[in-house]
Amino acid sequence: MAIATDDATAIRAAAGGAEKRAYVRQIFSEIAPRYDLLNHVLSLNIDRIWRRNAIAELAVERDPEGTYLDLCAGTMDISVMIARAKTFRGSVVSADFAEPMLREGRDKIGGSRISPVAADALELPLASESMSGAIVAFGIRNVAGLDAALTEVRRVLAPGARFVILEFSRPDSAVLNALYQQYFRRVLPAIGSLLSGHPTAYRYLPDSVSNFPTREELARRMRSAGFSKVSWHPLTFGVAAIHVGERAAVAN
């Protein structure tokens, strides 16, 4: 059943209200055909570099024959990049609850060992301790329950396996943050609406980033969910950040 996609609904969803899950699934299903183009245009192609950096942190060379989870996989850019790594001989499970996003990316798979799965990040159809690692790029802020998603990812990871989060952040510099907010709240929604044809999807984006935990808070919540060796570092003056943690044998 379709839901309203006006600005008020976008604001409530970005704040984590009861409508978030349905709203996010609907808008990402609707913008799927233009999603890749918009990512590259709106980030000035820097998102490609960020993704490579995040995959490097996943360190698939630690278990090159393992199975890795690409959470909130979208059109499976991350999955394909992992599968094509020189030393990688394992497989990737690409999970996203917006099935049209997975369908949009299926032509990228080719002969790669990538398995698209329509699944919610809060209820993954995966056995406990079955994944050699997990990564999520620009998707964790869209889940309906952050702490529940972190706990669910921990469940499916083998002890010692890494979880890498690539997500938008906010620059520490007051000057850069002011410029960033102007771009995010004025330029990005206008271009996003024009190219995607969706009235509110790119209004939701800046609001969802504003409502997302700070880098320090996200690290704390990863530790609370049972991840150890948690660290993070900013990218491009703090516009984005990479967080890394390992599944501890016993939750903290």
pLDDT class of 192 with cuts at 50, 70, 90: confident
Structure tokens at 95: 């999970």
Cα distances (Å, whole numbers) of residue 56 to 41, 82, 162, 219: 23, 9, 11, 19
| Angle ∠(61,67,70) on CA atoms, nearest 5 | 95
pLDDT class of 4 with cuts at 50, 70, 90: low
Q: pTM for the whole thing?
A: 0.92
d(CA 144, CA 41): 27
Structure tokens at 104: 């949009």
Model pLDDT, residue 1: 42
Cα distances (Å, whole numbers) of residue 134 to 69, 78, 91, 99, 162: 4, 11, 12, 20, 6
Tally of helices (H runs) and strands (E runs) in the chain: 11, 7
Domains of the chain by start residue, with CATH = 7-247 (3.40.50.150)
d(CA 79, CA 93): 8
Q: How many CB atoms lie within 10 A of CB 182?
A: 11
Token pair 């808070």 is found at 217
d(CA 242, CA 78): 14
Q: What is the pLDDT of residues 80-121, one digit of tens each?
A: 999 999 989 999 999 999 999 999 999 999 999 999 999 999
E-state strands within 138-205: 157-168
Residues 92, 66: contact at Cβ < 8 Å?
no
Structure tokens at 187: 């330029």
